[in-house]
Amino acid sequence: MDKNELWNRCLELIEERVGKGAFDLWFRPIKAKQMKEDQLILEMPNRFYREWVEENYSQMINDTVREITGRDFDIRFRVSVKQDTEEKRQYAQFTQKKRALRQRGVYLNPKYTFDGFVVGPSNAFAHAAALKVSESPGTVYNPLFIYGGVGLGKTHLISAIGNHILDKMPDLKVIYVQSEQFTNEVVSAIRHDRMTELKEKYRTVDVLLIDDIQFIANKTSTQEEFFHTFNSLYEQQKQIVISSDRPPKEIQDVTDRLKSRFTMGLLADIQPPSFETKLAIVYKKAELLNIVVPHDVAEYLAMRVKSNIRDLEGCLIKLAAHSSLSGLPISLEMARHALRDMIPEEHRPITVDRILKVVSEFFGVKVQDLRSKKKTKEIVLARQVAMYLARQLTDLSLGDIGKNIGGKDHATVIYACRQVEAKKAQDESFERILESMIKKLKEG
Ligand code: ADP
Ligand code: MG
């Protein structure tokens, strides 16, 4: 199999896995650049592709390649365009850090630091607790249990604890593990009769960071093993940090004794960020990515990406990728266009004001005449149509509709609606006009 054949087969599987939207966006432009022995080099159009794909999909790409070839590849990402020396230096520094950590058996992302974490009211408490723990592990809050919704910074925060400790106290043994990975290790240890090694590995650490603990629900042996690991570390006053997408009492199918362990130290939640915090995060990420984001674009993102910070970052990187490919600076117009499948256009509510505006355009009359009591033939008809549309498309009462359109009472509105219905039944072109006005109003 040559590199293109391998990569094309990967792409097929990847498309199934990530769905068409993400596939077209991030994977279609990737090419297999080189394959030798167990190394595969993938080429990305620019550094933003690399940033996003490496961060979010490298594990999946690894798994896919292994599935097809039956062996593990060292997969590297390269950027096809020329990079300036500063960008190269930064990336080299990042990969070097990552490799150094891996060599020590630590699977932490070096990017997730306290410096890169924006503090706001939604996460201040969890942040303060994490900082405390990283300054004196094992002594203040044990365990520290951080919970909150998807993409709100749990992994970032618990990784920052690990990175900080490794930085300041390099002799300490730190393990970061996703609870699924921990489960796999337990299963494999049982199968291959290697429980002693597993115990040795996890019960001799100084800091255990376990991410997304909710996934051990239902897994009896894993819970059993984790319970003993927990007790052993706790007795030795070693730091345990746990993250979860929900508070301990809401994690189902976890034994009560384990749940009660989770609540022995400090519980800290992370809430969805406010608009201001999101704005600050956009600027922080832009700074880290070394890109310029105009204020209106930053506000647009902070306003329109509801609560998930990973999505916020995805939008920003997509914009950066777009701008870098097209050579155009990031602008609001570009953002609206490039992010249309990630940020649906907001549907404006249908109001009497909008109805009057649309009706006035169709009938060539003035809005203020529709609101008045004028009784010329065109205005009366247009006003009746406006009343009819308001009846069909808003929740307003008959009385309110009348008041807003020509200062009429509810009987006039009922009469208007009947007139319009009757005309619609007789006159096909009138019916079509009504339909196109409705369409226009519904599309915002
Ligand atoms: P979770 O583990 O809660 O699903 P992550 O920690 O993976 O979320 O965060 C998703 C993305 O959002 C990461 O890239 C992270 O850096 C970013 N992020 C989340 N919260 C913040 C924050 N307060 N400041 C900066 N970046 C943040
Ligand atoms: Mg996470």
In order along its 444 residues, the chain shows pLDDT tens digits of 899 999 999 999 999 998 888 898 899 999 999 999 899 999 999 999 999 999 899 999 999 999 999 999 999 999 988 878 888 898 889 989 988 898 888 889 999 999 999 999 999 999 999 999 999 999 999 999 999 999 999 999 999 999 999 999 999 999 999 999 999 999 999 999 999 999 999 999 999 999 999 999 989 999 999 999 999 999 999 999 999 999 999 998 899 999 999 999 999 999 999 999 999 999 999 999 999 999 999 999 999 888 789 999 999 999 999 999 899 999 999 999 888 877 766 667 788 999 999 999 989 899 999 998 888 998 999 999 999 999 999 888 999 999 989 888 999 999 999 999 999 999 999 999 999 999 888 876
Q: Which residue, 313, 311, 318, is CA-closest to 334?
A: 318
In angstroms, the CA 339 to CA 393 distance is 29
Using CA atoms, how far apart are residues 162 and 169, in angstroms rounded to an integer? 10
Choose among 247, 192, 194, 257: nearest CA to 220: 257
| Residue ranges near ligand 2 (ion) with Cβ within 5 Å | 155
**What's the pLDDT at 82?**
81
Q: Closest-lying ligand to the alpha carbon of 55? A: 1
- Closest atom of ligand 1 to CA, residue 312: 12
Distance 245 CA to ligand 2 centre (A): 8
Q: Could you identify the atom of ligand 1 that is nearest to the CA of residue 211?
A: 2
Atom of ligand 1 nearest to the CA of 212: 2
Residue of 108, 156, 179, 276 to test ligand 1 pocket, by largest number of atoms within 8 Å of CB:
156
CA-120 nearest atom, ligand 1: 23
Contacts of 106 (CB under 8 A, 6+ apart): 162, 166, 174, 175, 176
Q: Running DSSP on this structure, what letter comes out for residue 23? A: I
Write out residues with Cβ below 6 Å of ligand 1. Answer: 116-118, 123, 148, 150-156, 281, 284, 309-310, 313
347: amino acid identity, one letter: H
For residue 240, how far is its CA from the centre of ligand 1 (angstroms)? 20
Which residue among 309, 312, 315 has the greatest number of ligand 1 atoms within 8 angstroms of its CB, and so is best to mutate? Answer: 309
Expressed in angstroms and rounded, the spacing between residue 285 Cα and the centre of ligand 1 is 11
* Cα–Cα distance measured from residue 108 to residue 289, given in angstroms and rounded to the nearest whole number: 20
Q: Rounded to an integer, what distance in angstroms lies between the CA atom of residue 93 and that of residue 4?
A: 30
Q: In angstroms, what is the span from residue 113 Cα to ligand 2's centroid?
A: 14
Query: From atom 11 of ligand 1, which residue's Cα is the shortest distance away?
Result: 310
Structure tokens at 268: 């800290």
Location of structure tokens 């199918």: 253
Strands (E) located in 336-441: none
Its pTM surpasses 0.85? no
Ligand 1 centroid to 239 CA: how many Å?
Answer: 22
Residue to mutate, 310, 311, 317, ligand 1, most ligand atoms under 8 Å from C-beta: 310
| 251 touches 265 (CB < 8 A) | no
Output the pLDDT for position 31: 95
How many residues belong to the chain? 444
Nearest ligand, measured from the Cα of 124 = 1
In this structure, the residue with its CA closest to atom 21 of ligand 1 is 153
Residue with CA nearest ligand 1 atom 19:
153
**Which ligand has the shortest distance to the CA of 113?**
1
Please report which ligand is nearest the Cα atom of 150. 1
**What is the pLDDT, as a whole number, of residue 347?**
66
**E strand residue ranges, 72-172:** 74-79, 144-148
Query: Is the separation of the CB atoms in 140 and 132 below 8 Å?
Result: yes
Q: Residue 28: what pLDDT? A: 92
Query: Does residue 364 sit in helix, strand or coil?
Result: coil
274, 121 contact by CB (below 8 A): yes
CA of 432 to the centre of ligand 1 (A): 50
